[in-house]
Structure 1
Amino acid sequence: WLTIDGQEIYRHTKAAGHIFEKVSDEALYRKMGFRVATRPDGVAREVVGISEEKRDKYSSRRRTITKGTAELAKAYEERTGRAPGAHELARMAQWVNLT
């Protein structure tokens, strides 16, 4: 018996991910009529045609992150005397998301 060449598999991980996205997007459309597209920020994919307002209304995770980030930003401003910048807010949101 020989072991599988992990380096060769790793080399194709990104391509496999793209294939998975395409196949799952097509299945979602075929079975449910939904189209999926990459968000403008390029970070994730989302169902096309759902307004940001509706998405935010039904996204408990987003609400949790937004609330937690606001609390951290308030504490930051009280501690430093200035509002956090965009980079700091992004780090706060990441921290809230991961805890």
Structure 2
Amino acid sequence: MKEFNKRSIIQRKFLKLINSSVLIKNEELYSLSEEAIERWIISNKINRENNIILLIYKASEKLQCIANKSQESITNGYNLAIEDIEIIYQTMFKEIEV
């Protein structure tokens, strides 16, 4: 349960940052699932080559990795995924703030 809460907190942190960006024209991003990201890109007419979009997909992939790893005992892979996702967040923060 602790890992689930951690994933939820991480996802909310990303969504808050993304939804504060100038990319939002029509619709906020509500989830980091692939389907939600695709819908959001289309709704807001965002170029898929945008670096923030690439970072969003990386974050989504890492969150999925965390979800899979949390089903096992906490491993180095889980800890590395947590570290990676923090790096992705910091990079995205810099991109959005520029």
TM-score under structure 1 length normalisation: 0.29
Q: Indicate the structure with greater strand content.
A: 1
Instruction: Point out the structure with the larger helix share.
Output: 2
Instruction: State the TM-score, normalizing by the size of structure 2.
Output: 0.29
Q: Higher relative CO (CA 8 A, sep ≥ 6), structure 1 or 2?
A: 2
Which is higher, the Rg of structure 1 or of structure 2?
Answer: 1
